[in-house]
Every structure is written in structure tokens, then in C-alpha cells.
Amino acid sequence: MKRTFLSLFAASVLLSSCNCDKCEKTEANGNPFFAEYNTPYQTAPFDKIKFEHYKPAFLEGMKQEQAEVLAIANSTKEPTFANTIEAFEKTGELLSKVSNVFYAQKGFNNNDSIAKLAKELSPLETKHSADISLNENLFKRIKTVYDKKDDLKLSVEQNTLLEKMYEGFVRSGANLDADKKAKLREIDGKLALLTMAFGDNVLAETNGFELVIDNKEDLAGLPESVIGAAAEKATAAGKEGKWMFGLDKPSMLPFLQYSDKRDLREKLYMGYVNRGNNNNEFDNKKNAQEIANLRIERAKLFGFKNHAAYVLDKNMAKTPEKALELLNKLWDAALPNAKKEAVELQKMINKEGGKFKLASWDWWYYSDKVKKAKYALDEEELRPYFEINNVRDGAFALATKLWGVKFVERKDIAKFHEECQTWELQEADGTHIGIFYLDYHPRASKRGGAWMDSFRKQSGLGTDKEITPIIMNICNFTKPVGDGPALISPDEVETLFHEFGHALHGFFSKCRYNQLSGTSVSRDFVELPSQVMENWCFEPEMLALYAKHYKTGEVIPAELVKKIQAAGKFNQGFGTVEYLAASLLDMNYHTLTEPLTEDVMTFEKNYLEGMGLIPEIYSRYRSTYFNHIFSSPVGYSAGYYAYIWAGVLDSDAFEAFNETSLFDQATAKAFRDNVLSKGGTEDPMVLYKRFRGAEPSIEPLLKKRGLK
């Protein structure tokens, strides 16, 4: 969605090449942003972009966009769709161009200089956006076109653009009185700074924790690959001859899963769940509280009783009550399963002579033991078959089988980091679709998690200047050890396919307007294209394509495949409950109608205990490091439920393949044509029903998770 849609829903900004006269005049200063990139497919010249290029480009970009907007707003011509709606849609090219590169770098190559500049730019950008969204003349022109939209004979996409643009202005304060507009500016300025600080604090806390081991006996239970990775991590940190574990998941989770040292598991896990809650300079308790309270105040400016009502008004769920209905139904189904799993783990503890009660930091360790006992399945047996490039090639092969596309590695495109890979996606006949950047491994400068983003979205369909997408997948997967390859876990395999699904949503977009293209859809629909791809991961036919031993090339044995299938529903009570706990916590913050006065950790504890969350399970994200909802002005706030909402959709969608065949191209074409290519051009349920023929059923999800 275009940033100057001026709604806090803006999920990303759109990059497109800049051909303006002003850029040509400033080309001589050596700033790459001020000229058309002389690169393949207008990819960013990362080898030429320097830190000092960002600020001048931001300032000039804001100046240019303001001039472009004023030219529209102050025009004396009768407002039309072309001279107002389409004209506004095309503004801000330079600002989008530099913003997409800069904020992407902040996500995967952050440093003190970038963080400082982002903080400096925040109030300038907030004011710039507000100056546009609250421009009365501009809004009058947009409203004039909107009021006569039924007589304009617009296409479906044009009508959607008009409606979303009008609603974007309204939801950004265009209809507010002067006092409320001033208050909105103040609130948005505070939110921009607070959410940035929240994310920076989480990164600092994550990087600041170290579990250093200097006694080899304390490595008991750990596989050699995990020990080797810890030794390399220690050496890189200047602790030669020791072993180090951190809070990034490729380091933390294997330790929790295999370490025999319960006290060290506790130390590492509690370091993770207490991020932002250590009463130090990076403490996030006050930030989270202030963000939640400002959102209440902001929602009420628009006549909504709470932030969730404001957000969900434009999502598939429509109301908080509808989202909570699904969450509570699944909670009631999943919690008994999680309790049964806890009993199983306690039995294993007792069987081994443990004289303690199961705690949260024991879950991964003892669930691994139970899994081995029940299914004879050891994840370390699987890793050799999940070499990361083989898994990547498996995802590529899946796309080829379904849609006939192909991937060609490009060595002639500048990279933003030495670990980055660059690929070109083509149709079967060689037609260019887009450029794909892959960045798979953790580093101190990269925030945690995994995500898809765009340097440029697809747009211009039906015009003489169609712009092709430039997309990235950024992840934090297990790194290679020594001279060996990166061997990833089954969870990481699913994540790779998940983010790849987001990328395909961006690549297959066929839209005219970039504000509607690709992933510019409601939060609870955007996870459908990503999550549906996970369904293929461990199907036997799919495993045969990519799960090959990294040394021998041997395809994963049928016996191991059967074990994977048999264990498919194992520990789903835990996985579902820890996710739902976070979703419900998010909704509880954002359905508040009055300011929160108590400490957020007390608020969290009281709410989740009241829901019946057992002490052996923590919420997947706790308040002080819940980046999804607190590290951007909106992000997934009142929207973390979207993963399970989309889970209903993706499980039902995959049934279409179960009803035909795993790689059925006719079904895949229907999904591409009716969902992936349409972006946000139509109501998501209309698109889904056009693909599936009916609204989704919850039954496939319950079946898949073993909740029925």
C-alpha cells in the first residue's frame, strides 16, 4: 500500500524508477538515488549506495512529493479519476525509492548510524505524511471524484483504488476537525518514535545476551553440529576455546531441545522470555503501555471504541468479536490437548527419575524424548536431508510443477550482503517476472524472525510501462558449521516455504496500480498465499524432489518419511496454544477502551492465567518483545490472529489439491488467476470463493492440527 494513502495500515512503500528532470540535474553529485539505476531490471546498486546518500535523498524525496501533491491539490481543473486519483497514485517515486532501500537495510543490516538516522527522520516523515493526509484541498478533490464514482464507468480495479484512497484519507484524519487533526499529528509522531524504540530495544536485548560455556561437561546431550556452531559463535565473539549460545532461534532452540543441563536451559530460555523486561536502558514495559494507550486515544478520534475495532473494520474479520470467536473456539479445542501433552512430558520426567515438575524450559527437551519414544523420530536424522540450498531448490521445483515458472541465478546483480543470493524468476517461455533476493542466516545487524518485503512492487499492467517486482525473503536459519553446509530443521523448512509463498504472491501480481498490487491485502488474507505453501513440505512426493542427503545425494528413505507423517500432529496442542496465547494477548491489549494503568507484565499475567494458560507454556510472544504488534505503528497489532484465520483458508485451499492431485496444474492456475494475481483489487472473500466455489470450512484446519 502506498505510504501516502496516509493510513497507519501502510504495510510497505513502493519503489519505482525515477525519471524526473530534478533527478537528472542532481546525478552529478554521485548519489545513486537521484538517477535512474543503470542496473539489470533497475535493481538497487548496493555496491554504490553509501550511508551519506540516504538523508539527502529522503529530504529531496519529501520535497518532490510535497510539490507533486500541491500541484494536484491546487489544480483549477475539474477533478477527474485521471488528474486526481491516478495522479496522486503516481506521486512520491523518489521518496519510495530511497525509503524501500533504507528501511530494508534497517531490518537486515542495522547499525548505530542507520538507527540514529531513522530516529532523526521519523518526525520529519510523520509530519510529511500528515501534511498530505490532512491537506483539505487534496481531500476535497478526491471526495469529489468519490461522490460521483457510480457514474464514472470505472473498472473493478479503478473502483477499488478510488474507494481505498478515499477511505485511506478518512482513516488518516481528513474528516476530523482542526483540534482532532492536531491531536492526531501528535499521537502519530509519538507512535512512530515509540514503536521504533521498541524494536531497537528488542534487537539490543537479543544481541546482548550470551550463554558462554567453558566446561565441556556442560555440553552434555548436544549434537556435534550444535557444539560446532556454538564454538564458531564464541570464536566470532572473541571467546576462543569456549562455546556460546544466544537468543536467535537457530542457536537457542537446539540447546533447549538437546541440552541435558536443566539449569542452563532455564538460563537461556528465561533470557529469551525476559527480553525488554530487565529494568535496564532497553526495558520495553513503559513503551508497550504507552503504545497501547495511544492507540486507544487514536481510535476514539475516529469514533471507534478501541484500536481493534478500527483495524478490523477493514479486515476480513470485520469486528474484534468475530476474530475472538475463532480464537476462543480453537483455544477450547487446543488447551485440553496441550494439557495432555504436559502430562506425557511429566511421565517422561518421572520415568527418568526427575524429581521436579515440568517447566517451560523443559518442554522442547522432553517433547523430543517423547517423540523419539513414540515415533522413533530424531530431528537430527532429518537435518542431513534438509541442506538449505536443496530445500530452496525444492520450493523452486514446487513453483515449477504448479505454474511452470523457472529460477535463474543472477551473478550480475549487486547484493546488499555477501550472504545474499540473487535470482531471476521467469515464465516457462523465459518471460521475465521479477528479481528475488534471498538472505537466509542470522547476524547481529539483522532483526529476528523471517519476512518477505519488496524493493519494488509490480504495477502498470495494461500500460506501456509495466513495472516488474523486486522481492526479498529475509530469514534467520541455522548457519553452516565449518566447511559444511547449512542443515536446517523441519520448522525452518516450513518457514522457508512460508516466506516463499509470500514472495510468489508478490511475483504473480498482475495489477495496474501499485497501491493494490501483490501483498497489499488485508492482514488476515495476506497469510493465505504463504501458509498454503507449507502444506506441501512434508508430502512424500514433495520430499522426493528436494530431501536429499547432502553428502550422498540419497533421497530421504521411505522409512523416515513414514515417521515424519506419523509424527505430523505431535505437539500440536503446545504449538497451537502458545500461538493462540499471543493472539489473544494482542486482542486483549487492543480491545481496551480505557488507558492501561497497570504494569504490562501484570496485565499479561492476569489475562493469560484467567484464560487458563498452564504455567508450563509461555505465550509465544510476551508483551516486552512482541515485535509483531509493538515495533511498528500498526504492523500486526490487533492482527496477530491473522495466521490462524488464514490457517482456515490455507487448509481449505489445500483440500482442492487433495481432491485432485498434489501438483494439479488446473487447480494451481485457478489459485494464481483468482488469488495470487489479484492483489487487493477485490474483496478477499470474493476472490477466495471464485477460486474455491464456496466459503472456507474450518474442518480441514481442525483435522490438520489434530484438534478434532
The answer to whether position 448 is within a domain reads: yes
CATH number at residue 103: 1.20.1050.40
Mean pLDDT computed over 395-411: 98
Whether residue 698 sits in one domain with residue 549: yes
SS3 178: helix
**End-of-domain residue from the set 590, 606, 639:** 639
* Number of residues that make up the chain: 708
Which residues, at least 6 apart from 528, have a Cβ–Cβ distance to it below 8 Å?
646, 649, 650, 653, 675, 688
Rounded Cα–Cα distance for residues 452 and 12 (Å): 11
What local confidence, expressed as pLDDT, does residue 7 receive? 39
3-state secondary structure 84-111: HHHHHHCCCHHHHHHHHHHHHHHHHCCC
The answer to whether position 253 is within a domain reads: yes
Region for 622 from its dihedrals, namely left if φ exceeds 0, alpha if ψ lies in -120 to 50, beta otherwise:
beta
Whether residue 367 sits in one domain with residue 341: yes
Q: What is the pLDDT of residues 673-707, one digit of tens each?
A: 999 999 999 999 999 999 999 999 999 999 999 88
Q: What is the pLDDT of residues 192-243, one digit of tens each?
A: 999 999 999 999 999 999 999 999 999 999 999 999 999 999 999 999 999 9
CATH number at residue 543: 1.10.1370.40
What local confidence, expressed as pLDDT, does residue 620 receive? 98
SS3 472: strand
What residue numbers bound the domain in which 146 lies?
40-175
The answer to whether position 689 is within a domain reads: yes
Q: What is the total count of domains within the chain?
A: 4
The answer to whether position 180 is within a domain reads: no
Catalytic site residue 186? Answer: no
Mean pLDDT computed over 317-343: 97
Whether residue 647 sits in one domain with residue 525: yes
Whether residue 299 sits in one domain with residue 336: yes
Largest CA distance in the chain: 84
What local confidence, expressed as pLDDT, does residue 21 receive? 40
What local confidence, expressed as pLDDT, does residue 9 receive? 32
Contact 100, 13 (CB under 8 A): yes
For the chain, helix, strand, coil in percent to 5 are 60, 5, 35
Contact 139, 475 (CB under 8 A): no
Beta-sheet pairing, 451-456 with 470-474:
antiparallel
Block residue for cell numbers 475472538: 324
Block residue for cell numbers 523457472: 406
Confidence check: pLDDT of 13 > 60 = no
Q: Around 432, how many Cα atoms within 13 Å sit in the side-chain half-sphere? A: 15
What local confidence, expressed as pLDDT, does residue 60 receive? 98
Confidence check: pLDDT of 388 > 70 = yes
User: How sure is the predictor about 635, in pLDDT bands with cuts at 50, 70 and 90?
Assistant: confident
Whether residue 138 sits in one domain with residue 77: yes
Whether residue 466 sits in one domain with residue 424: yes
What local confidence, expressed as pLDDT, does residue 633 receive? 82
Whether residue 392 sits in one domain with residue 344: no
Looking at 205, 290, 387, 499, which residue is catalytic?
499
Transcribe 30-60 into DSSP letters. Answer: T-GGGS---SGGG---TTT--GGGHHHHHHH
Rounded Cα–Cα distance for residues 648 and 170 (Å): 31
The answer to whether position 22 is within a domain reads: no
Confidence check: pLDDT of 4 > 60 = no
Which residues, at least 6 apart from 566, have a Cβ–Cβ distance to it below 8 Å?
375, 377
Mean pLDDT computed over 373-381: 94
Confidence check: pLDDT of 22 > 90 = no
Which residues, at least 6 apart from 27, have a Cβ–Cβ distance to it below 8 Å?
34, 35
**pTM of structure:** 0.93
What local confidence, expressed as pLDDT, does residue 708 receive? 78
The answer to whether position 479 is within a domain reads: yes
Transcribe 404-467 into DSSP letters. Answer: --EEEE-SSS--SSTT-EEEEEE-TT--EEEEEEEE-S--TTS-SS-EEEEEE--B-TTSS-PB
Question: What average pLDDT is seen over the chain?
Answer: 94
The answer to whether position 237 is within a domain reads: yes
Whether residue 393 sits in one domain with residue 500: yes
Contact 68, 89 (CB under 8 A): no
Q: What is the pLDDT of residues 271-288, one digit of tens each?
A: 999 999 999 999 999 999
**End-of-domain residue from the set 639, 662, 678:** 639
Whether residue 328 sits in one domain with residue 218: no
Whether residue 522 sits in one domain with residue 621: no
**End-of-domain residue from the set 274, 296, 318:** 274
Whether residue 676 sits in one domain with residue 617: no
Whether residue 519 sits in one domain with residue 425: yes
What local confidence, expressed as pLDDT, does residue 466 receive? 94
Nearest to 362 by CA among 245, 255, 479: 255
Confidence check: pLDDT of 539 > 90 = yes
Bridge partner list, 464: none
The answer to whether position 192 is within a domain reads: no
Mean pLDDT computed over 108-114: 96
Q: What is the pLDDT of residues 554-594, one digit of tens each?
A: 999 999 999 999 999 999 999 999 999 999 999 999 999 99
